[in-house]
Amino acid sequence: MKVVVAVKRVVDFNVKIRVKADQSGVELANVRMSINPFDEIAVEEGVRLREAGIASEVLVVSCGAQACQEILRTGLAAGADRAVLVRTDQALEPLAVAKLLKAVCEREEAGLAILGKQAIDDDANQTGQMLAGLLGWSQGTFASSLDISGGRAWVAREVDGGLETVELALPAVVTADLRLNEPRFATLPNILKANHKPMATITPEELGVDIRPRLATVRVEEPPRRPNCTLVADLPQLVAALKGADGPRGAS
């Protein structure tokens, strides 16, 4: 079974996000970019499936600019077998990405697609679900564990009340939550090997996918600053403050 893992290049989680002066979006110039952390977990899961003999090949796919090659190399160093870059300089919305991934999954005759549950830049949490819908595959989102045997998959999902386990018929789309696994550190020999693993580039046109944006961004702004907190000396003061006319300060 071939496994497709989708990875996205996002602003590194350590970077303090700034909104562009013209409010058209988030400042990306000269900002450190990395692989989306949830996608790292997805790659690790794919590699573990191959090591367990369940997957025959792990393919990492990214959609976007040439620079996405960096995170594809990260995926290859983590153990993926080959990479595909769907290259475009146009900004992509979740639906466009889902369509591109659908085309790749079909071309590759994949049996399983693993994605991060969401990307930490726009937090859309849509691509995996849309991909499953477009492909007509079953889906197990927010996975905290994944077991596969006999053409079926069991996914423990992280839901509000705890864990919910769903049984899926393959092929399927699984999106990775934080606790699915702990990604390993890439080894030096694998980093060196990654340079020799195949990386193909393809365009949305070649895949016959329309990636025109359907949404318009009106304005991006910073969240409102929280009002200053007031320190109270003891419990009676706290109660008094809570009962005060303005209501509790600093709560939101």
Q: Which residues bind other proteins (CB under 8 A)?
A: 14, 30, 70, 73-74, 77, 185-192, 194-195
- The two tokens of residue 11 are 């602003």
Rg for the chain, CA atoms, rounded: 21
Cβ closer to other proteins: 18 or 152?
18
Place of tokens 């369940």: 54
Closest approach of other proteins to the CB of residue 69, in Å: 8
| Cα separation, 171 vs 108, whole angstroms | 13
Instruction: Tally the residues of the chain.
Output: 252
Give the amino acid at 110: A
Cβ closer to other proteins: 77 or 113?
77
| Cα separation, 40 vs 25, whole angstroms | 25
| Cα separation, 154 vs 120, whole angstroms | 26
Closest approach of other proteins to the CB of residue 192, in Å: 6
* 70 C-beta neighbours (distance < 10 Å), count: 13
Closest approach of other proteins to the CB of residue 212, in Å: 31
| Cα separation, 76 vs 180, whole angstroms | 20
Cβ closer to other proteins: 17 or 238?
17
Cβ closer to other proteins: 87 or 122?
87
* 25 C-beta neighbours (distance < 10 Å), count: 13
CB 248 within 8 A of CB 227: no
Cβ closer to other proteins: 50 or 73?
73
Closest approach of other proteins to the CB of residue 189, in Å: 5
158 CA to centre of own chain: 16
Closest approach of other proteins to the CB of residue 73, in Å: 6
Closest approach of other proteins to the CB of residue 35, in Å: 10
| Cα separation, 64 vs 87, whole angstroms | 5
Cβ closer to other proteins: 78 or 114?
78
Closest approach of other proteins to the CB of residue 188, in Å: 4
Cβ closer to other proteins: 70 or 147?
70
